[in-house]
Structure 1
Amino acid sequence: MLSRRNVRIKVMQILYSLSRDKNLDLDGVLHQYRDYVRKSFELYLFTLYVLIRIAEFAKQDAAKRLSKLLPSDDDKRFTAKLSDNPCIASLINNDGLNRLFRAYKMDKKTDDDAIRHFYTEFSKTEEYKQYVYQENSTDEDHRNVLLALFKHCQQSEMFNEFIEDQYPLWVDDESLIVGALKKTVKALPVEANFFESYRPADETVREFGEQLLSQVIREDDKLLEMIEPTLKNWDAERVAIIDMILLKMALCELMSFPTIPTKVTLNEFVEISKMYSTDKSKDFINGILDRLMKKLQSEGKINKEGRGLVDE
């Protein structure tokens, strides 16, 4: 589920923490990184759990409508199909998924009032009303209404705050989780062990992330020595901490990961600087990395596997 960009961001955040807390050793840093990675999968599960809980609230809505002294025609026609359809049922009745929910104590992290609010707000939408009173709904209809529900929640400030209160990394991982949730819903009804495919892959997490993190820490002084001559009128101590971290990471990636094209490395770190550093950082990062890359290429220190990887 984690892309290399997600991993780069997590490595950057760990290195920033290290710059503020010199007491962290390499083992401690790697432990923190692995925890960040684990939390991303946990966040995916939590967001899925919340979506299921909101859908299940349709049963309470149906019971409340039927208990009215004078139910309207709409009340009488209403059914809890949002909760009872085979697509959402494949999640509700998934034993493996429910074991994970219990292991991470998801029920302790949710709030009944919040779930009620999210459902109630969605129940006012035309998408939901059309779905509820539609006859002979297909699996595609069930999937589409769940996608509409999730989109509606995404646009809610209360929903975003609710998720972020439990998992602060929602700010960084939102696009990742949104993509994973949409992929899950579009595949409903799911296979029993579908969630395994969303666990972070070792190749990305360990072979890329841990190696990159470890190398930047071990070679910190050497990397600084390589960067300083390219700064021209800049004093290294005046360079923003995040910018210096990104430069060191990019240097390691250029020299030590032969299957990642050089242009990908440059573009990725420029994009990350736009998100996490100052307004001028993207131009600064782009200029310094361009100089560093040309210097490394002239010295034969960038060796890529495969045709065209240096220039692509």
Structure 2
Amino acid sequence: MISRRNIRVKVMQTLYALDSMDQVLKPGEPVKLLQKQFDLTRQLLVYVLHFITEVARYAETDAKNRASKHLPTAQDLVVNTKIAGNDLLWKILEDASFKKTLAEDKVDRFIDKELVRKIYHELTDSDEYAAYISLQGREPKSEKGIIDFIYSNLLITNEAFTSHVEEFFNNWDDDCDMVNLLVQNYLNKPGTYDFQKMLSNEKWAFAKDLLQTVLEKKALTLEMIKPKLKNWDPERIATLDMILMEMGVCEFLYFETIPPKVTINEYIDLAKEYSTSQSGQFVNGILDNIHKELVKDEKLNKVTYKK
């Protein structure tokens, strides 16, 4: 579900948080902090999916509210609730893993019912909705199309919705692109995610090993980085840049299956996105220099740090 690039971001964020802490951590605490990062991503993903279902299901609430008016109009008594029975909607609602995670994480407590109502009425005012309810039967393409429309046109591009999500999930800015991709993939194949296991065993091992390697080999990586800084004062270099370079050097030395070129490109991109405007070029220069020196000295013999 989650790519190696996303894993690197979570490791980077964990290392940055650890660097900001004053207290001495107990053994195992850094890994717990890393796990929490992935837990927050899961909660955000589940909440976005839950919000989609709440908008679609509001059709029944709207029908009841309008029918229970003191003097309902003829239109109030014939509200179309087709979307509440949407096939894709119910595949999500009946997904055992989704239901279990929704109950355990209790993210439904964040629901803004008034925002759900407003977005539902934006939906019913749209041409897409009119076309959807005019169709007889439940053709798979139209069933998925209207759910996609709710997500892509009424939620993810809606400032009110994104502001609402940001209020409860401080990881939104970092995770929105990843969660967007995960939501789209899930809507294409509902029921295929194990929400209790956001990472495969292999990827979780990579995440833990990368974190622990950087922490345990910090002295060695700094010993290799500092001579390459030339006129730069290590104390004045952006903390994130140092963390990214330490991660890159650790991948050079200890991660046997990752080509050095991939490592360099990944950390250039992360530096550009998460650090300063000059960070991409800076990180590129240092990592490329270290890589060339390792090759020249025949020291690029990757062996896991545990050995």
Q: Matches of 1:88 and 1:138 in 2, distance apart? A: 13
C-alpha deviations, 1:210-252, integer Å up to 9, x for none?
Answer: 1111111111121111001111221211211110110000000
Q: Corresponding residue for 1:106?
A: 107
Q: Corresponding residue for 1:18?
A: 18
1:41, 1:200 within 8 Å by CA — same for their partners in 2?
Answer: no
- Residue number among 218, 222, 225 corresponding to 2:223 in the alignment: 225
Q: Matches of 2:298 and 2:228 in 1, distance apart? A: 18
Q: Corresponding residue for 2:293?
A: 295
2:110, 2:168 within 8 Å by CA — same for their partners in 1?
Answer: yes
Q: Matches of 1:253 and 1:85 in 2, distance apart? A: 47
Give how far 1:124 is off. 2.3
- Return closer, same or farther for 1:225/1:123 CA change in 2, 3 Å cut-off: same
The list of structure 1 runs, each at least 4 consecutive aligned residues, that deviate by more than 6 angstroms after superposition, is none
Q: Corresponding residue for 2:49?
A: 48
Q: Which moved more, 1:150-159 or 1:196-205?
A: 196-205
2:11, 2:207 within 8 Å by CA — same for their partners in 1?
Answer: yes
Give how far 1:65 is off. 5.0
1:71 lines up with 2:69 in the alignment = no
Q: Corresponding residue for 2:179?
A: 177
Describe how 1:154-233 pairs up with structure 2 within 5 A: 154-188=156-190, 190=191, 194-196=192-194, 199-205=198-204, 207-233=205-231
Q: Which moved more, 1:11-20 or 1:105-114?
A: 105-114
Residue type of the alignment partner of 1:37: F
Residue type of the alignment partner of 2:48: T
Q: Matches of 1:19 and 1:87 in 2, distance apart? A: 44
1:22 is paired with a residue whose SS is coil
2:97, 2:194 within 8 Å by CA — same for their partners in 1?
Answer: no
Give how far 1:8 is off. 0.8
Q: Matches of 2:294 and 2:220 in 1, distance apart? A: 14
Give how far 1:107 is off. 2.5
Residue type of the alignment partner of 2:72: L
2:43, 2:107 within 8 Å by CA — same for their partners in 1?
Answer: no
Q: Matches of 1:229 and 1:10 in 2, distance apart? A: 28
1:261, 1:304 within 8 Å by CA — same for their partners in 2?
Answer: no
User: Which ranges in structure 1 are unaligned for 5 or more consecutive residues?
Assistant: 306-312
Give how far 1:6 is off. 1.0
Percent identity reads: 30
C-alpha deviations, 1:133-164, integer Å up to 9, x for none?
Answer: 22234111111111111012000111112222
1:27 lines up with 2:11 in the alignment = no
**What TM-score comes out, normalization by structure 1 length?**
0.88
Q: Matches of 1:66 and 1:178 in 2, distance apart? A: 36
2:55, 2:117 within 8 Å by CA — same for their partners in 1?
Answer: yes
1:260, 1:304 within 8 Å by CA — same for their partners in 2?
Answer: no
Q: Matches of 2:140 and 2:43 in 1, distance apart? A: 27
Q: Corresponding residue for 1:122?
A: 123
Q: Corresponding residue for 1:236?
A: 234
Aligned residues, how many?
298
1:65, 1:71 within 8 Å by CA — same for their partners in 2?
Answer: no
1:250 lines up with 2:252 in the alignment = no
Q: Matches of 1:28 and 1:34 in 2, distance apart? A: 10
1:195 is paired with a residue whose SS is coil
Give how far 1:24 is off. 4.1
Q: Matches of 2:119 and 2:217 in 1, distance apart? A: 49
Q: Corresponding residue for 2:284?
A: 286
Q: Matches of 1:264 and 1:170 in 2, distance apart? A: 27
2:53, 2:89 within 8 Å by CA — same for their partners in 1?
Answer: yes
Q: Corresponding residue for 1:276?
A: 274
